[in-house]
Amino acid sequence: MTELTGKVALVTGGSRGLGEFIAAALVNAGVRVYISSRKAEVCDSIARELSAAGECISLPFDLSSVTGVEALADAFCQREQKLDILVNNAGATWGAPLDEFPESGWDRVMDLNVKSVFFLTQKLLPALRRSASRTDPARIINIGSIAGTRTGRTNTNYSYIASKAAVHHVTRMLAGQLGAENITVNALAPGPFNTKMMEFALNDPVARQRIEAAIPLGRVGEAEDIAGAALFLCQRAGAYISGAIIPLDGGAAASR
């Protein structure tokens, strides 16, 4: 039910935060993992660190354009014939007041968070199809957000919220279309996690207390929380799940 040894995975945004947590878990499970991120030095460094536990290869590319997406897909396919697990995690956020929100902030977030997810999946479909079987589907895991399921009156991350809602819907659309090809497509929708992206808030005791008070379980997410969910979807136990948007928020969404 849990055997993943020998499988091949690609994790975008795999050099930090949630992507690094997932990549590390897959490496430790015996998966050959390729990680990608925009900064080559950081991507190379994390790949070396993770390789202490298994096999991790750095493929640094900027996925904010289709050119970068195609370059990553080509680089991967030069090394591997098949892809068992694709984790679309690379993303960005941008916050600004409504009257001042720039087009550049809208486009950067939508291009990386939505366009790259769709087109990287498209370019890697041949490799995913070669891996897929009826009893052991190929897996696509998109990283959404609970921000994509609700809005807040004080939230100014307009493009981020819209992008994550789009990721959830693209996930459902692809699940419906790719199921017949034995490819499952699911999304994880994290709430607050202990990552660099959240440092600005979590390092402030008052802000951290306010965030944790809004979560029924009373804490923010840790590496093991998202790693466990991702591993579940990749293992035999998750082979019959597709089109799901799985909240990882300590019950926050259910309490609203």
Question: Which are the catalytic amino acids?
Answer: 160
Q: Copy the structure tokens of residue 27.
A: 């490496």
Phi, psi torsion values for 188, nearest 5 degrees: -100, 135
Q: Copy the structure tokens of residue 133.
A: 């079987």
Question: How far are the Cα atoms of 121, 130, 209, 217, 251 from residue 118, in angstroms, in the given order?
Answer: 5, 19, 37, 33, 29
Strand order, beta sheet including 138-143: 55-58, 32-36, 8-12, 85-88, 138-143, 183-190, 245-248
Strand partners, 185: 140
- What is the CB-side half-sphere exposure of residue 51 using CA atoms within 13 A? 12
